[in-house]
A and B are shown apart, each in its own frame.
Chain A
Amino acid sequence: MNSEYLSPLGRKLLDRRGFMNSSALALGGLGLAQLLGSEADETTNFTGKSPIRPVIDPDKPYTSRAPHHEAPAKRVLIIFCPGAVSHVDTWDYKPDLTKFHGQKPPGIPAVTFEGPTGNIAKPFWDFKPRGQSGKMISDLVPNLARHADDFCFLHSLHTQTSAHPQGENFLNTGFTMEGFPSAGAWMTYALGSQCKDLPAFVAINDPRGMARSGKNNFGSAFLPASFQGTDFNAKNPPANLTRPAVYSSAHDRATINLLQKLNSKHLERFPADNDLAARIASYEMAGKMQMSVPDIMDLKGEPASIHKQYGTDTGSDLKKEYAKNCILARRLLEKGVRVVQLFNGSDPSGGNGITNWDSHSNIKDTHAMQAEIMDQPTAALIADLKQRGMLDDTLVVWATEFGRMPFLQGNGTGRDHNPDAFTCFLAGAGVKKGYSHGASDRFGAKAEKDPTSVYDFNATILHLMGLDHERLTYYHNGLERRLTNVHGHVINDVLA
């Protein structure tokens, strides 16, 4: 790169970096455009803050990289519940729903997502005070409720859409539209991983399959593919991880030996080419993964007490499967995997008739079925992390894409989508314990006190991971793109 072609600012950047270490810039998508994009620092940054670009060694794109600021959280567990969990039946206690049960007070819209609206309905489960904080939580999630003192609820979340795929996109990628990198990919891009033989970012999909937005929820979009979530769960290894039946280990050794010979001869012709070196390194990593992934998926070594605690042998088949996914999540976090995204719900097909939290009819049955799967294993996972001291440096995020309405649908048995108020919670590293931030209105219909956008939510997650959401950017088609677009404020109130 001849600096003649750079603006003064670009040249300054080169000097500052001691640009001769060009390896960081040779990794295709991280190459020239990234470099040149930095020229635009002055103009592209709306906030006046300049981007902080991770220096990525193409040989080892997953090596651990320093955060922007010191932060207690070294890794993150994102538990995502697609379909929209009813906040008014779980975490957001609204006595007025009982008072107005069966009525239609003024102010209720005539039409919501699925059509005409019905009357206010009291929660389908009883609320009780929990823990020392006395937090009111419903009997739908009795196991998670026991850990109320560890959680920090956000009751005033609101989103931009009442359609699932756009909602999932927005929560997980910061945009309702298709094609933006997931939060997990952003964090992996910035921070790499502390683990040498496992992917930096693992997406543990629901036993029933992927959520509505599919790969968007853990994809890398325009970030390099290295930073996407690797998709496997306790039952299914990543595609093509396992050696095909026609091959033996001797076949694999022969392949790798010959490959080394071919590649080193080729490398003689291209001595300083990092792309080639990176590709060689990727085969080494693949080899390690063939050992480490089956190893981490094998839960037989876990003591019976752990299986019991998570519930891998009790309840519905789906719950047993999900419980195994929860144990897998803990094992991955223990190994230092940077981002683990655990899904509780899929796209509506197959399964036992319900596939996620989308309860437009018979909410009493369908939410109960879904909660049976989610509650005990998730609670056990959080308790297990705590017991091992891992909550000190692991951030736990429990999220859903929006809430549900305080009133029933025309059919009288389900609750429709509510984009204007919903609840998620955080726990673990850097987060206040036994705390509730913000509030929805008296029916849980709209965020009222300290309304919190999804941008704020994501900005806060990044902050807890040591990242400045305004400086974690990637040049793409004319803009320094961010997880939080041009919005978002860290919610200081939830920080410990």
Chain B
Amino acid sequence: MTSSHLSIFVSTLAFSLGSVHSATTDFTKDVLPILEDRCIKCHGPGKQKAKLRLDQRPTMLKGGDSGLPTIVPDKPEKSFLIEVVKQLDPEMAMPPKGDPLTREQVATLEKWIAEGAEWPGQMDDVGAKPTSDHWSLQPVKRPEIPDGKSHPIDAFLNRALEKTELKANPEADPLSLVRRASITLTGLPPTPARSERFVSDSKNDPQAYEKLIDELLASPHFGERWAQHWLDAIRWAETNGSEANLYRKNAWVYRDYVVRAFNNDVPYNQFISEQIAGDTMGAGEATGFLVAGPHVPAATVGAEATAIRQARADRLDEVVQTVGASMLGMTVSCARCHNHKFDPISIQDYYALTAVFQGVEFGGRHPELSDEHPRKKRAKELYPQMFKERQTLRQAGLSWAEHWGGFQDYQFKAETTKAVRIDFTNPSVFIDELEIFGPKGHRQNFALSSGGATLKTDPSMTQNRGDLHNANDGYFGTMMWKSKAPKDSPDRPWVEIHFTESQTVNRFRSSSNREYYFETEYLVNKQGKKSSVYYPPNFRISTLQEDGTWKQIAHSQHAKNRLNKDPELKAAHNRLHTLIGQLSEEGPRHSFIGRFQKPVVTKVLYRGSPENPRDEVMPRGFEILDGDLGLDSSTPDPERRRRFAEWLTRPENPLTSRVMVNRIWHHIFGMGIVPTASDFGLAGAPPSHPELLDFLASEFVEDDWSMKSMIRFIVSSDAFRRASNPESLALQTDASSTLLWRFPPRRIEAEVIRDGILQASGKLDPSIGGRGFRIHNEKQTYSQWEVVDNHGPKTWRRMLYQERMRRVDDQIFTAFDFPDCGQVRAKRSISTTPLQALNLLNSPFVVTQSEFIAERALSEAGGDQKGAVTRAFLLLLNRVPSEQELTASLEIVSAHGLPIVCRTLINSNEFAFLP
């Protein structure tokens, strides 16, 4: 059928069936002529516009690029065919030329579909599962290692080399090797002492190189270097991008997680599972991955419901992009509006992925940590102490306020009641959320509207855009309940919280804008002052009695007065606040690592528009890779992500291991075996060495996904150790050194330049992890971040810890292709611009560091100028100067001073290139 012409098929059919008269539609007589006349020319055997064929039932069931089935038997209302011929959407009206179908013709098609879309001879074929012969979707097959004594990697590489005229370079000189290995593995050049030791060891110790590699892999700086690569791949940054580009408070705990994971050699399957579902694995900080990309907060897109829905769809898309590009190596987002143009990813696959992450929202939470986590341990030390202070206060019959920064907890004597009433003493209150808790199950908020609680107040005091429901809708932030008593009135704002059934309660929590406190920082008001947190200062709390009357159980002003008069109680209250401060700083802290919510039903969005929801989809992986997880819309959020992570890390998933070994290869050689490291689809590039890639991928899985082992394995090859010198003949054949006849030299990244300078001056603070250093101002919500200090002592840490602000220029190193962290980028481009030159010549950072390096060199050389020049060369280039260089440098030293020589060395090509 596929190759034969339709009309031949039709005539045969007509002959064999004859004309059947019945009340039902006759496909051959009624339907086929319409299709033949108006559709087949573009969607038939000759042409398949939008990858659609309407001359076969199975392809109609499947549909074309839109991803929507052309026909759904029995359901004309769900059949895309009917929609387009009715021309409901002018941009998708069919047929595009000539008159629309007549009303009768449309009715015929509708009737035909409603009756089951009978198509004689084709009823058994219901549309096959998608298939693909694309290389990356085939199972990983471990190939035989080519014969020979070489390292397996070289065996594969050499086999390809041998087919050409190219000859491999000899091993690099020890100096280049130690610099190359050190920068590749730790991001730092070797110290002069280490490079000298390696140069001398390599003369007589055959194990010298292995020992060097072991040492570098064991260095805590290894994790920093490789964390930088991973953060790049997922465009992680510490601001939102978008409207106000706000800082994401404590997002850096995720960076620490990544550094730790690399240093501890967390197996890759565990590494990615934790990032997807770490909340279920005692590694809550790892889910910072999910919210690594930029996002448009709901509060900044205005009041229109359509814009709010669009922003949510965009946020989910960022999550899916992050997962797709980094872990699957697929440009999943291409299937957001229609089936993927090149790869067998359907629009259903895309929305099934959004269903997996439907419970994820950009924001923060307290990370779930394992009991061994230092912060968890610290909290466990502090809790009993806090309990003790509270007991003191409680036993005195007191009620008291606890200030937690973002909110206030008011503790009172436990009471069982069906309602709580708060009478405020101030004429005006504004509360983004109020909560009521009890002594049991202390996380359950009885005031939540979604839990059935209702609020009452005096509506006449409620202010414009300050509706009461904001106070118990579960959302923190700028949407508040605002109540204000009329001027000169003795009345005061109040609120009643009615539960569906009796609850035992002992705590009232309130805040004005918890979101700003917990989710962001470094904001100031128009006067340039940090905005303070507002708590309702005083109030009375009453509970509803059986007889319908209210009984006052706490009066905050009275309690405060008592506290202030009793030095012992006052001291206990003070100690409690010291502990609260310690817990907030040293315990698990609210961090921008994503928050979770109950997932809503996920639907395919026709043409990517949230205003056009179609069929429901279930959470699952790609259909082509057996992604069915047996889940549905009722599956709770964490389980969706956990099950997806299991699917992703199945050893037989052909993408996961290939993508990661290729990424590792890319960071070592500067280009991947698959050059398009985040696109293993048809539009990406094919592998230069397919068998090698599969060999590495299977080795990776068999070696329990150890990233350190894989890195060690690759840098142990001859290929990594080859000299990088160009060879003119070879360059002509293989300019980009794809065949690795040499180690391809390249300009080092922004971080390596900056860290290398600081190491040379001896000013580098090598401490690992923790909060980053700031180079920017504190700003008003709607204004730009500006560089305040990009060179002072507090910035003398590794650049990994420079607060990473989306699309903000640091005025020195951004020019070195530092990513803007907007779109997922498989690799940094390496470009050369005059701005780079100006920054390395004139920035205050280079000016001051040149002086420090000179000072250090001079002091280490005991004040001898010649020795100092030599020392400066060693500190920056790991080598001594040639006679000529020495002479030229000394001339400059005597005329202009040693700092000028150091400035020059920093600008040299030799310093900026990986040898």
Contacts and interface: CB of A to CB of B under 8 A. Distances in A.
Given A162-B302, A216-B807, A113 B307 contact: yes
- B-side interface mostly: loop
B324 to A, nearest CB: 10
Interface in A323-380: 347-350
A166 B815 CA distance: 24
Interface stretch (B270-278, B405-413, B889-897): B889-897
Interface stretch (B17-25, B279-287, B574-582, B734-742): B734-742
Given A239-B811, A270-B726, A275-B746, A36 B904 contact: no
A349 B783 contact: yes
A293 to B, nearest CB: 10
A16 interface: no
Contacts of B826: 477
B901 interface: yes
B834 A289 contact: yes
A478 B807 contact: no
B392 interface: no
B842 interface: yes
A247 to B, nearest CB: 8
Contact of B910 (A163, A214, A219, A262): A262
B683 A44 contact: yes
Contacts of B682: 40, 43
B822 A279 contact: no
A300 interface: no
A488 interface: no
Contact of B841 (A164, A254, A286): A286
B341 A46 contact: yes
A336 to B, nearest CB: 16
A61 B908 contact: no
A387 interface: no
A95 interface: no
Q: Which of A20, A32, A219, A225 neighbours the largest number of chain B CB atoms within 10 Å of its CB?
A: A225
Contact of B900 (A31, A61, A254): A254
Interface in B827-852: 827-839, 841-844, 847
B735 A258 contact: no
Interface string A153-170: 000000001111110000
Contacts of A25: 735-736
B831 A226 contact: yes
Interface in B74-91: none
B838 A238 contact: yes
Given A166-B242, A225-B815, A255 B907 contact: yes
Contact of A216 (B783, B822, B836, B905): B822
A37 B839 CA distance: 33
Q: Which one of B816, B832, B844 has the highest number of Cβ atoms from chain A below 10 Å of its Cβ? A: B832
A32 B737 CA distance: 10
A350 to B, nearest CB: 7
Nearest to A179: B822
A401 to B, nearest CB: 13
Interface stretch (A1-9, A63-71, A127-135, A459-467): A1-9
Given A32-B671, A215-B809, A20 B732 contact: yes
Contact of A477 (B163, B303, B678, B910): B678
B822 A27 contact: no
Given A179-B294, A241-B842, A283-B907, A163 B823 contact: no
B784 interface: yes
B639 interface: no
A28 B746 contact: yes
Given A163-B307, A259-B908, A262-B908, A476 B823 contact: yes
A261 B747 contact: no
Nearest to A262: B908
A165 B725 contact: no
B888 interface: yes
Contacts of B334: 478-479
Given A263-B909, A477-B825, A178 B904 contact: no
Interface string A175-205: 0111110000000000000000001000000
A210 B784 CA distance: 7
Q: Which size class do B's interface residues fall under?
A: 35 or more
A347 B676 CA distance: 37
A247 B907 CA distance: 16
B304 A112 contact: yes
B500 interface: no
A26 B782 CA distance: 41
Contacts of B782: 212, 347-349
A214 B807 contact: yes
Contacts of B882: 265
Contacts of A285: 834, 837
A304 interface: no
Contacts of A219: 807, 820
A223 interface: yes
Contacts of A417: 302
A349 B778 CA distance: 13
B304 to A, nearest CB: 6
Contacts of B832: 27, 58, 61, 226, 275, 278-279, 281-282
A451 to B, nearest CB: 12
B734 A2 contact: yes
Given A163-B302, A223-B829, A479-B683, A254 B896 contact: yes
A238 B904 CA distance: 21
**6 closest Cβ contacts across the A-B interface?**
A179-B822, A29-B829, A28-B830, A179-B823, A113-B302, A224-B831
Given A114-B302, A477-B824, 7 more contacts: A5-B688, A32-B685, A40-B342, A225-B816, A247-B842, A258-B892, A476-B823
Interface of A: 1-2, 4-5, 7, 20, 22, 25-33, 36-37, 39-40, 43-44, 46, 58, 61, 111-115, 161-166, 176-180, 199, 209-210, 212-216, 219, 221-226, 230-231, 238-244, 246-247, 250-252, 254-255, 257-259, 261-263, 265-267, 269-273, 275-276, 278-283, 285-286, 289-290, 347-350, 417, 475-479
Interface of B: 160, 163-164, 235, 241-243, 245, 294, 296, 300-304, 307, 314, 325, 330-331, 334, 341-342, 465, 671, 675-676, 678-679, 681-686, 688, 724-726, 728, 731-736, 738-739, 745-747, 779-780, 782-784, 786, 806-809, 811-812, 815-817, 820-839, 841-844, 847, 882, 884-885, 888-889, 892, 895-896, 900-901, 903-905, 907-910, 912-913
16 contacts: A22-B735, A29-B830, A61-B833, A111-B304, A178-B820, A215-B807, A225-B833, A226-B833, A240-B843, A254-B895, A255-B903, A265-B884, A276-B913, A282-B836, A477-B679, A478-B334
